[in-house]
Amino acid sequence: MINNEINIDRLIIASNKDEDFIRSMLNLFIDRTPGIVNEMKEACKKKDHLRTVKLAHQLKPSVDMMGNDRLRELLLNIYEITKGESNCKKSLELIDTLSIQTNIVIDLIKEKLKQQKLT
């Protein structure tokens, strides 16, 4: 299932409606998230479960701020499955789906950034 929505209300509240801060956080998500997802994939391929879990944990706050339930759900599933070190194949499949969903969210954020006013 793909979720083509973002809700940055949590980010707006956390920033006290500071437009510059919101734009900065959105751009930071765009710039850093794909690289972290790729690192997760490589760590999982190497069966480095601890690194994969740490990277998933690192992404959680920014994913929460983007308000995309599917992205959050995928990340939590990766965290739980990888933490148990039980199913690397399933983790890799989820990370591939996370990568696709991340790209969708990034496209939505880029559209949002084109708006004159975010709050």
97 Cβ contact list (under 8 Å, min separation 6): 74
pLDDT at 116 over 90: no
pLDDT digits over 81-107, tens only? 887 766 678 889 999 999 999 999 999
Domain assignment present for residue 118? The answer is no
Domain assignment present for residue 2? The answer is no
pLDDT at 58 over 80: yes
**Model pLDDT, residue 38:** 97
Counting the structural domains of the chain, the total is 1
**Model pLDDT, residue 82:** 84
**Model pLDDT, residue 3:** 59
pLDDT at 2 over 60: no
At CA 17, angle to CA 13 and CA 18, rounded to 5? 125
Domain assignment present for residue 117? The answer is no
Quote the pTM value: 0.89
Domain assignment present for residue 89? The answer is yes
Identify which has the larger pLDDT, 37 or 85.
37
Quote the domain boundaries for residue 100. 9-112
Domain assignment present for residue 33? The answer is yes
**Model pLDDT, residue 87:** 66
DSSP assigned state of 6: -
Mean pLDDT of 65-74: 91
Percent of the chain with pLDDT over 70: 95
Other CB atoms within 10 A of residue 96 CB: 13
Q: Which of 54, 68, 62 is nearest to 26 (CA)?
A: 62
pLDDT at 1 over 60: no
Domain assignment present for residue 3? The answer is no
* CATH number (domain holding residue 23): 1.20.120
In the chain, which ranges are continuous DSSP H helix?
9-14, 19-45, 49-66, 69-83, 88-113
Q: Is 73 exposed, middle or buried (0-12, 13-18, 19+ CB in 10 A)?
A: middle
Domain assignment present for residue 4? The answer is no
